[in-house]
Structure 1
């Protein structure tokens, strides 16, 4: 049993943060009830986002509120602090953070802990490309996914209402940069949605739209294997999607995407999904990092050479004990993150009770990817699937992995209803600027004033 009060600080509320806290909550239920242990989760958002469902949320197949899991409901025995950790002094077991309350005062507060779990995840890896900061759209959060859906439909509205061919062409050109899961699935789902929506526009046809995927390497979806990657390229091109391999985005300034092969595309949509990098917080911890900026970890998920510090997921370089080549780390994906988190929770409980730690050993079983409604690719246990079977496996796998029975039931219900009724093609971009209409009225300006844009359209 835990002899002294154990204060466990979990930094991050994503896959690793939520599942680690959940596992600890299950393993240490008696200690938590008696006040012998305290689990604090510091997270920028009060929910965990199930990122594999972001493309379907963007396409309107799943409601955005069902893509997220409320942490306060799932982690009812934990203390949830909505804020961000700015730095960590592990020698003194303190973390400096900002919360919603301290931001208003312009200050910070400190938390002390006994055990530290670092799971801040990753952030988008951007490059100093002209115009990217001004015009690029990310695809890592539920807000970005829904914002992108609204943006795409809004561009179709612009194209339908303008008489300027240049404006129309730019509005109907969609450039996605990055051929990994996020880029390919987002492109596949949104193109599918836009093609369906075009039937309700009297002057916009699917062939009027340009969908372009830009990838710097010579292949896409490396996780599903080279053969299935080539199949994906073929399928996308059959849908009149331009797949440009070995090509980089050089600039998107002035709403013109300039590529390394010399092509130029006037566009109002540049979606950046070209990889991620470790969270900047890791550099402010003083803990050992590898060459890629991730925490050096042991197979038991402790930070290498540091006591009372743990990590997993995107933030951690965890040795892959099942790999044929020594020195290989586990891939930074959701499959490993969820499994590592459960073991991490077990090992912290073992450590507090003086029990031996377990080693993380999980062989990667394969990958699944959706390319739009009833279209997909998969490679599972060496078996290759494509088309409808792969798409069905993609949905079945992720339905089994999304947390809580509540979310599983809601997602399944939405999929069932989507099969019975037509897609929703409404843009609710004004939700991103909820006070715009009131500000206009309070300012004495008429909503039809041509010098203003009450809906916040781009």
Structure 2
């Protein structure tokens, strides 16, 4: 029975394993998924998690709960030697070991791509994981609590200033969601005013959201400006040391929350430690049928999909001729990848991946969104419902869909939960503060010094007469 190793349990990896369970006959193959995390994160929901509109656990999908026939290993793949068909698996506890396979599927995803800008590595936070989204939410709430106890002034405004770097879909969505969140929070903080909250989005290009038309992007800019959010176009971040923001335009201000969404790159842990072919941008070279290789030749028993791969976009709409790294492609590639693997196992030919983007939809905070399909653009509350409907239905498994929609329904009547749980980042702090500890052993009393007896004087000689 062939052993299939799936490296990465994100969109593409999860869907590949999920659909392999459906298409494989009993005993036809053994499937193993290796990922450092035991869940798949539905990343389009991260902006809403950061804004408190979705419960964090509802935006992730448990691998062990939904991959019932798959062997799930929570660990990292730190090396792939396809020549010998072995992978090095490094668990969080214990020694690394070699894993032999017959077919490998590389779906390691992408990580945040940053630049050597002073202060970014120390002060900023990304938006690729559920943990980052939760930290953003808790930081926002904690900063409102702190600011409410301070007098009006620079320190208060620093706590209420949010900076987002990157004007793509992820950047605009989290920027607009956080602006909406901050406006709603002011109801609970009468000490604070709207004018004290400042939101800055920094984009190096001359426009935002390249996935939508220019008129639509202009509408988004105008809409954000009306809500008190400032977008800096044709502007670069020069420094963020200690939260002091310096822009290429000469402007500067202080912020305690900097969110980085300016690009991604293929997971370097996987790409740099394998003998599979890599193209110039650091992604695994992949054919339209999702086999690793080029049009002329392919690497036998090696497949790739998702953000870690360079899959040609046969629709002609991709940047540089390749599929852009987004959830739409990763999910669809994962589904096709499962079918293609089964086809090859059964001696059939794999199909090529083709997907023509039908449109783009983005949420801009409660009751506001934008939808673009060709020349058709829908804005406002209708687009917001379209955004929630599309992503709610795209969430894998009925169980996850129900939790997300049920959470939205509760928020409609009860409002967003505004409790910060930032203390979870240091869960033992309260326990340690009051925990009793053994008293240090008393220093042993020094032994009394021995009294030295005086030396006897020698007897004097008697001189005889």
Q: Shared topology, TM-score over 0.5?
A: yes
Rounded to whole Å, the distance in 1 between the matches of 2:99 and 2:408 is 43
Report the counterpart of residue 291 of structure 2 in structure 1: 302
Rounded to whole Å, the distance in 1 between the matches of 2:189 and 2:320 is 55
1:93-152 Cα distance to aligned partner (Å, 9 max, x none):
0111211222xxxx3111110000000000000111111111111111111101110101
Give the secondary-structure state (helix, strand or coil) at the position aligned to 1:306: strand
Gaps of 5+ in 2: 438-465
Report the counterpart of residue 429 of structure 2 in structure 1: 436
Give the secondary-structure state (helix, strand or coil) at the position aligned to 1:303: strand
- Displacement of 1:408 in angstroms is 0.7
TM-score under structure 2 length normalisation: 0.90
Rounded to whole Å, the distance in 2 between the matches of 1:423 and 1:95 is 45
Report the counterpart of residue 156 of structure 2 in structure 1: 168
Rounded to whole Å, the distance in 2 between the matches of 1:326 and 1:48 is 26
2:37 to 31, 45, 50: 45
**Is the 8 Å Cα contact of residues 318 and 324 (structure 2) preserved in structure 1?**
no
Report the counterpart of residue 8 of structure 2 in structure 1: 12
Report the counterpart of residue 238 of structure 2 in structure 1: 250
Report the counterpart of residue 21 of structure 2 in structure 1: 25
Give the secondary-structure state (helix, strand or coil) at the position aligned to 1:216: coil
Rounded to whole Å, the distance in 2 between the matches of 1:431 and 1:15 is 27
- Is residue 64 from structure 1 mapped to residue 56 from structure 2 by the alignment? yes
- Displacement of 1:163 in angstroms is 3.0
Report the counterpart of residue 218 of structure 2 in structure 1: 230
- Aligned pairs, how many? 432
| Higher fraction of helix | 1
2:100 to 98, 109, 112: 112
Larger radius of gyration: 2
TM-score under structure 1 length normalisation: 0.92
Do the aligned partners of residues 184 and 439 (structure 1) sit closer, same or farther apart at CA in structure 2, a change above 3 Å counting?
Answer: same
- Displacement of 1:422 in angstroms is 2.3
Rounded to whole Å, the distance in 2 between the matches of 1:261 and 1:182 is 24
Gaps of 5+ in 1: 445-458
Q: Which moved more, 1:337-346 or 1:163-172?
A: 163-172
Give the secondary-structure state (helix, strand or coil) at the position aligned to 1:97: strand
**Is the 8 Å Cα contact of residues 366 and 382 (structure 1) preserved in structure 2?**
no
- Is residue 335 from structure 1 mapped to residue 328 from structure 2 by the alignment? yes
- Is residue 398 from structure 1 mapped to residue 387 from structure 2 by the alignment? no
Report the counterpart of residue 139 of structure 2 in structure 1: 151
Do the aligned partners of residues 345 and 372 (structure 1) sit closer, same or farther apart at CA in structure 2, a change above 3 Å counting?
Answer: same
Report the counterpart of residue 373 of structure 1 in structure 2: 366
- Displacement of 1:381 in angstroms is 4.8
For residues 338-417 of structure 1, what are the structure 2 equivalents within 5 Å?
338-417=331-410
Do the aligned partners of residues 184 and 327 (structure 1) sit closer, same or farther apart at CA in structure 2, a change above 3 Å counting?
Answer: closer
Report the counterpart of residue 188 of structure 1 in structure 2: 176
- Displacement of 1:29 in angstroms is 3.9
1:211-241 Cα distance to aligned partner (Å, 9 max, x none):
0000011111111222211111111111111
